[in-house]
Amino acid sequence: MVETLWAPWRMDYILGRDPRPDGCVFCLPEDHLGPLPKRLVLYSDKEVLLIMNRYPYNNAHLMVAPRRHVATLAQASSSERLAMMDLAAKATEILDQAQKPDGYNLGINQGQVAGAGITDHLHLHITPRYNGDTNFMTVIGETRVIPEHIVATYEKLLKFFA
């Protein structure tokens, strides 16, 4: 039986129309606070921001980053580190309500050899996990299935961060 996998948001990437900003994906205009839909930012304040991962491992894969452009935990101030963890805790509470995952992977990949795709701006991944989300598709087919369009997930989550 042939299965069809839909990932319509990938077409912009394939055709070179990826809406990524010039420069760092985590850096926002200094005077901007709050959400920024075209960048998939759900929340931002003076110290931190919460953004959806445009290339998620799972539905509602989020990232928390300091507003300041720093590469490591050691370079972040203690208030930035605390704000990141507080926002991560709040985000998991919201995801519990909105997505009802069975668990989470939270982690920071610091440095390119650790798997950091963006090495020069510290960020913490929040990946919701669901029973059965790692199945034969991932293991044998080396393919992930994301069942909900990223914009639909963004719109669903945004109301919780208002």
Contacts for 29-33 with beta carbons within 8 Å, 24 or more apart?
Answer: none
Domain assignment of residue 36, yes or no: yes
Domain carrying residue 142? 28-161
Domain assignment of residue 60, yes or no: yes
| Dihedral sign (CA 107, 109, 114, 118) | positive
Give, for all 162 residues of the chain, the pLDDT tens digit. Answer: 555 566 666 676 667 666 555 688 999 998 999 999 999 999 999 999 999 998 888 889 999 999 999 999 999 999 999 999 999 999 999 999 999 999 999 999 888 887 778 889 999 999 999 887 765 555 555 666 677 889 999 999 999 988
Q: How many domains does the chain have?
A: 1
Q: Which of 75, 107, 88 is nearest to 48 (CA)?
A: 88
Give the residue numbers annotated as catalytic, written as ranges: 123
What six digits make up the tokens of 33? 């606070």
